[in-house]
Chain A
Amino acid sequence: MADGGEAAQNNAANEQSPLVRFEAVTKRFGSVAAIESFSLDIAHGEFFALLGPSGCGKTTLLRMLAGFETPTEGRILLDREDIDAVQPHRRPVNMMFQNYALFPHLTVERNIGFGLRQENATRAEISERVTEMLALVRLQGFGRRRIDQLSGGQRQRVALARSLIKRPRVLLLDEPLAALDKKLRAETQFELMELQRRLGTTFVIVTHDQEEAMIVADRIAVMNHGRLMQVATPSEIYERPNSRWVADFIGEVTIVEGRISASGAMDSALGQLRVAGTSGAKSGGTVWLALRPEKIGMSGERPAGELNKVPGTISEIGYRGDISIYKVRLADRSLMKVALANVGVRGNARFKAGDLVWLSWPPDVGVVLDS
């Protein structure tokens, strides 16, 4: 390493370039490709999520970053340096494992201090940093406990502290909250965000839970079958998905098939629908309109105004407390999902299964997709 001043300068320069870069990475297990020509940049200080259904290759990607797998083709750069030849125990990244992988024969303290002890840190230094880490994850007083004396949530925090003690350039989190119950998971998501903001460390989280990815991450890479489907901020991915697959994977959606007519409207089985953002779509080709359930209005009478209006019959109602999901059967026998907030006490009592209703939405809330 160069002297401190130069290192600081390098760091300043590095702020511009991505911290992690996947360059056309392909990973094959035998003849099966887990990752196919995958390219992605992750910036300094980002909370980045790799999201996809199980078996999409997101964990393989994380393991390649940690050094447990090597790419078959392509390269992975960390701070503009190819890390292919760097062994796992020499990489400046740390990982929080899905099942935590805490050492059962060591106490909480020794688990957390394990990484520092490998660096031949002094006893005083280790104990100071361990105390600091215990405070960071609010486990003061638990240092002498055995791992099997901890609850699931406490173990999760020990694992987090253990992976942060070496101040890694990148913290890798493999489904870190999957083992927690729903309530604890929701709390921990916000704790993770707060922690990441405080430390400024780059976090890369792997999850199959799209809600979790949306809540914690600055940016999300949506993956399927080892390919990158879309990289964007959570709101962009939700509001402007680039394909039917992404639209369907993230949240609830109703997809209407049709063609763009010469006038720029969309001809579909539901009639002519007014849409926005069709400039890219070729007229005449098949396109799909993706509609989020909460953006569709529902009323007993035909609404007035510049809206797309479609009549239908309520087929099923799913009551969720905060909102109710209505499945409405349309003229072409297809179902459209509508979500209404149960604002008043009898908010959901207004509509009953079998009611004739009108669904309506402004032209700009739907997304026209050509793939």
Chain B
Amino acid sequence: MRTQANRRNWGARLVVLVPYLWLFVFFLVPFVIVLKISLSQTALALPPYMPVFDFAAGWAGLMEFTAQLSADSFRLLSSDAIYLLSYLKSLQIAAISTILLLAIGYPIAYGMARAPRSWQPPLVMAVVLPFWTSFLIRIYAWINILQRDGLLNDVLTRLHAIDAPAAWLSSDTAIYIGILYSYLPFMVLPLYAALEKMDETLLEAAADLGCPRWKTFWLVTLPLSLPGVAAGTLLCFIPIVGEFVIPDLLGGSETMMIGQTLWTEFFSNRDWPVASAIAVSLLGLLLVPILFYERLQQRSLEGSR
């Protein structure tokens, strides 16, 4: 009997182990490698950094290897303003676009959740539909729309909204348009999920107790949709901070988001240690909102128990 119970126990532990194993192999190990590179020095070699860990050298090799590690790359990051400005620019763009996404996404999600039941699956489908085309192709399409002789200028001049074609492309406006367009589904879907499961009799109960409609939104609907707001905000904010493709294709040369800086260090300057240091710092930066979200989740889990 006991051995059987033990065996079952081991089976259960193995199942629990699988996700940890997954995280270990595909997250922790790569991260340690990146961390290690960030502590190395550039070298004209393959791979383009040193020291390279040598298993054959044994204990002495390990000691020598550790001695050669340095925080020079991180020192460079904090000393050169270009990196700090890049981080700040990324945070600014991510914050502004997340607020805009929330402002645009909330009414859409609200409308979807209050639509007749039979309309909702097609509406969700419509939100997800852009994913059927490659992300890159959609951004290239925006280049076409935003360029000087593109669709946007064409329509605006025909409507006499502007006299001469404006330069939309290669500007922060273009970055915001691209980000809002690309990330809207990630904002709408969690908001919709939160609003959709809300019991509508709660709105009737509020009205019954003397609460006008607009006030019911602030007192009942919004507080109950906060988990969706948190999920949507983080789902957008975190990847936008590290966004590379959109600013690279739509943005101007004067705007460098951190993703572009990283790319330049890695591919143009072949400075792997600095590129890795940027990645590690970015992760540290993004850990703040992620941990905040974790705590929020934890609290709502405890609440529902």
Contact = CB atoms under 8 A, between A and B. Distances in A.
Nearest to A119: B210
Contact of A88 (B208, B303, B305): B208
Classify the secondary structure of B's interface with A: helix
A105 interface: yes
B193 to A, nearest CB: 16
A162 B304 contact: no
Interface stretch (B59-67, B196-204, B231-239): B196-204
A101 B201 contact: yes
A115 interface: yes
Contacts of A66: 204, 208
B224 interface: yes
Nearest to A168: B208
Interface in B219-233: 220, 223-224
Interface string B290-305: 0000000000000111
B201 A162 contact: no
Given A105-B223, A148-B304, A99 B201 contact: yes
A87 B213 CA distance: 10
Contacts of B212: 87, 89
B104 interface: no
A68 B202 CA distance: 13
Interface string A154-177: 000000001100100000000000
Contacts of B82: none
A47 B223 CA distance: 37
Contact-residue size bin, chain A (C-beta under 8 Å from the other chain): 20 to 34
Interface stretch (A14-22, A90-98, A206-214): A90-98
A279 interface: no
B23 interface: no
Contacts of A104: 224
Contact of A89 (B202, B211, B220, B303): B211
B209 interface: yes
A90 B211 CA distance: 9
A146 interface: yes
Nearest to A159: B205
Interface in B136-192: none
B204 A90 contact: no
Given A89-B212, A105-B223, A114 B204 contact: no
B207 interface: yes
Contact of A97 (B201, B210, B223): B201
B82 to A, nearest CB: 46
B224 A101 contact: no
Most interface-central of B202, B209, B210, B303 (chain A CB within 10 A):
B209
B282 interface: no
Contact of A95 (B208, B215, B223, B303): B208
Contacts of B207: 67-68, 87-89
B224 A97 contact: no
Nearest to A113: B209
Interface string A101-124: 111110000000011001100000
Contact of B210 (A90, A102, A105): A90
Nearest to A162: B209
Contacts of A87: 207, 212
B208 A118 contact: no
A240 B304 CA distance: 51
A146 B209 contact: no
Given A148-B303, A148-B304, A101 B210 contact: no
A102 B202 CA distance: 7
Nearest to B208: A95
Contacts of B199: 99, 101
A93 B204 CA distance: 13
B205 A88 contact: no
Contact of A103 (B220, B303, B304): B220
A119 B212 CA distance: 11
B211 A114 contact: yes
B304 A118 contact: no
Contacts of B204: 66, 68, 88, 95, 97, 101
Contacts of B123: none
Nearest to B203: A101
B208 A103 contact: no
B205 A97 contact: yes
Nearest to B205: A101
Contacts of B202: 101, 103
Interface in B71-89: none
Nearest to B202: A101
A58 B285 CA distance: 59
Contacts of A115: 209-210
A99 B202 CA distance: 10
B97 to A, nearest CB: 28
A316 B204 CA distance: 49
Nearest to A91: B208
B280 interface: no
A67 B203 CA distance: 13
B208 A94 contact: yes
A199 B223 CA distance: 34
A114 B209 contact: yes
B211 to A, nearest CB: 5
A335 to B, nearest CB: 43
B214 to A, nearest CB: 11
Contacts of B211: 89, 114, 118
Given A88-B208, A162-B209, 5 more contacts: A87-B207, A89-B207, A93-B208, A105-B223, A119-B210
Interface of B: 199, 201-202, 204-212, 215, 220, 223-224, 303-305
9 contacts: A67-B207, A68-B207, A88-B204, A88-B207, A89-B209, A93-B208, A97-B201, A118-B209, A166-B209
4 cross-chain pairs, A with B, having the tightest CB-CB distances, nearest first: A115-B209, A118-B210, A101-B205, A101-B201
